[in-house]
Amino acid sequence: MALILDTGPLYASLDRRDADYLACRRLIETCDEPLVIPAPVLVEVDYWIHARLHPGVLVALLDDIRAGAYLIEELLLSDYDRVRSLCDRYDDADVGFVDAAVLAVVERLNEPKLATLDHRHFGTLRPRHVDALRLLPG
């Protein structure tokens, strides 16, 4: 088992001014499972770090990744099929590539939970492997 991280909790854990900083930091620091970041999430986190913080935060995150604090889960070819299917099915719900990719990884790894602050999208998306995902922190 692992804890898969969406953009929101990962970013919030890096920004002390974020309203969800404490909850997300606590979730990450107390997790006794591997922390998995789907690769597309890093692009969004990079965007928000550069928009709101400073590049040193990204460098520190990359150092943590290199040290093994986080595992990066690259997308497989089959994940792209699932991403396409999700983007098509939920085109009226503004589900984009990153959210669909996160769900594809969650499904492939058979995880019943997801660390996300995006309850609007992930509360709407229906995973293949469980009735609904348990969304953390919560």
Is residue 106 in a domain? Answer: yes
**Angstrom distance (rounded) from CA 73 to CA 25:** 21
Cβ–Cβ < 8 Å for 81, 75: no
Domain containing residue 107: 3-127
Is residue 135 in a domain? Answer: no
Q: Is the dihedral of CA 65, 40, 16, 71 positive or negative?
A: negative
Is residue 119 in a domain? Answer: yes
> Tell me: the pLDDT tens digits for 43-85?
999 999 999 999 999 999 999 999 999 999 999 999 999 999 9
> Tell me: the pLDDT tens digits for 80-138?
999 999 999 999 998 999 999 999 999 999 999 999 999 999 999 999 999 999 999 97
Token pair recorded at residue 11: 């970013």
15: which residues sit within 8 A by CB, 6+ positions away? 21, 52, 53, 57
Task: Output the domain CATH number for residue 117.
Answer: 3.40.50.1010
Q: How far, in Å, are 21, 28, 63, 83, 94 from residue 72 at the CA level?
A: 22, 15, 13, 18, 25
Is residue 136 in a domain? Answer: no
Average pLDDT rounded to a whole number, residues 27-37: 98
